[in-house]
Structure 1
Amino acid sequence: MILILVLQIDSVYEVYLNKLYSSEPNEVKSAYEFFKKMSIARSNKYDLYFCAYSLQILYFSTKEFNKEKFLDEAIKLFEKAIKIDNKFSEAYALLSGLYGIKAGMNIFYGMFYGPKASQMIRKALEIDSLNPRVMYAYAQNLIYTPPAYGGDFDKGVEILKRIINKYENGYKDSGIIKWGYKESIFALAIAYEERKDYKNAYIYYKKLVDIEPNNEFYKNKVKEMETKL
């Protein structure tokens, strides 16, 4: 009976992981609700991680007015995951990226969150420097942290391109956390769009459409970039 229940949970978990990895805002919201309930029910580090990761995706893919709430909740969830496992490189890595985003919001946040972002990514790299998601977070940290606090847009972009090449040259993820390729492409598209480099943004959004032809969000972004070329 217990084995059947575990298998049922694993099966449902897989469904919501697929929703999360789809990057479709509505699907990600559904995944967020599921992982939030799971994290409350059993306080497992992976439940906390996936709940926080879904919020990070929503921060980048939605146009809600008060998006900072996504960051604040995600930060708390990653911090809880690290308390459960202080060697959880994946959580340190993404927490660093969120601190970096907060650091770029204003000078006061920069003074507080900038050093914290650097501390978290150093810890993640110390634990597992070859992990593509740690590399991804390092790139995000460089892109969104102000130069005065160690940010470097061009270096961050170059790291994202290296991650993409790593996957395209045959790298396969192991374990329950399996993302990095599509997300690095998405991160590049957003980074270029925010720099008003619509030509490169178009290239990477188009690459996402080639991967997921039925993804309406990606298709709409391609159309949006076309109007700005």
Structure 2
Amino acid sequence: MHRTIRGTLPLGFPVLVTAVILFSAVPRFAAAGEVISAETIITPFRDAVYNHSLSETEARQSYQATLADISSSNLNLYETEHARALAAYYLGRYYQAVKTREEMAAYAGDLRKGRYLALRKYYAEREAALDAYREARIAAEKYLELNPGAESHSLLGEILGQMLFLGSAGQALTIGPKARKQVKKALEMKPDYKKALIQEASRLAYSPPAYGGNPDKARELYRRILREGIWDREDEFNIYGGFAMASFMEKDDAQALSWFREALSLYP
């Protein structure tokens, strides 16, 4: 079965893409001289999530295999929490799904009109996604406590952002400012941190003008990031998705489609 999943998008405004989970429990990190990090362990899971789909049972098995790899690795304490936060985050991405094309079209219309609370009705597995994000948040907060920096603030902001429109209206009002604060703090600590810059650009691209959106500023920031160089597949995907959404918000659907195709060339 095919599952529609959002590409990683800051502050809860998802890019719709087709995604899959395909993952093995076989240890993958024994290459001589290879530097082990949270990203090294998580990347196969992440890329599998964004490439196609498995059954829920297989997705859960993949997640558990990732946690086992984390536990058996030589990561230090804060990187262990970093990796756990990422693993649970990508499980949340798996569950944060819009299942039919008709629902996707309606979802996009509500997004363009800024009807954010209406987006919850399109998530058939909303509670499962929230559960995964809650696990991710706990680990991310531990990561931030152990290693305060742009990376940990940005990650917590991203997780909170994905939770933003999955819960109640009251929760959205509480979580929204917290998510924005984390991204702002990340950029204060490290103004050139690319993931936080992408989060800020995406906030501008995915929001209608009434909610602070500004497609031109978003494109300007995306172009700056690209000029400085992008070496991460997920980051590049999110930039192309952001260009697409900036055009979509301006009702330039032909240009939006062109950028979406560019994004999907990275995660078909």
Matched ranges for 1:179-198 at <5 A: 179-189=234-244, 197-198=252-253
For each residue in 1:81-137, what CA deviation from the matched residue of structure 2 results, as whole angstroms up to 9, or x when unmatched? Answer: 332334242332133234334445664233211211122112211222211111112
Give unmatched runs, 5+ long, in structure 1: 219-229
Which whole-Å CA distance do the structure 2 matches of 1:104 and 1:26 have between them?
23
Which whole-Å CA distance do the structure 2 matches of 1:61 and 1:166 have between them?
33
Which whole-Å CA distance do the structure 2 matches of 1:15 and 1:97 have between them?
19
Identity value in percent: 20
What is the TM-score with the length of structure 1 in the denominator?
0.62
| Aligned residue number for residue 142 of structure 2 | 83
| Aligned residue number for residue 99 of structure 1 | 160
Which whole-Å CA distance do the structure 2 matches of 1:115 and 1:180 have between them?
23
Tell me, yes or no, if the aligned pair for 1:96 and 1:141 is still in contact at 8 Å.
no
Higher relative contact order (CA 8 A, sep 6+): 2
Cα 1:205–1:130 change in 2 (3 A) is same
| Aligned residue number for residue 46 of structure 2 | 20
Tell me, yes or no, if the aligned pair for 2:183 and 2:199 is still in contact at 8 Å.
yes
Matched ranges for 1:142-221 at <5 A: 142-143=204-205, 151-154=212-215, 155-167=217-229, 171-172=230-231, 179-189=234-244, 197-209=252-264, 211-212=265-266, 218=268
Tell me, yes or no, if the aligned pair for 2:201 and 2:222 is still in contact at 8 Å.
yes
* Residue among 82, 85, 110 paired with 2:172: 110
Matched ranges for 1:34-113 at <5 A: 34-39=65-70, 44-55=80-91, 57-58=93-94, 63=99, 65-67=124-126, 69-84=128-143, 85-104=146-165, 107-113=169-175
What is the TM-score with the length of structure 2 in the denominator?
0.55
Task: For residue 30 of structure 2, give the secondary structure of its aligned residue in structure 1.
Answer: helix
Tell me, yes or no, if the aligned pair for 1:114 and 1:145 is still in contact at 8 Å.
no
Bigger helix fraction: 1
Give unmatched runs, 5+ long, in structure 2: 1-26, 100-122
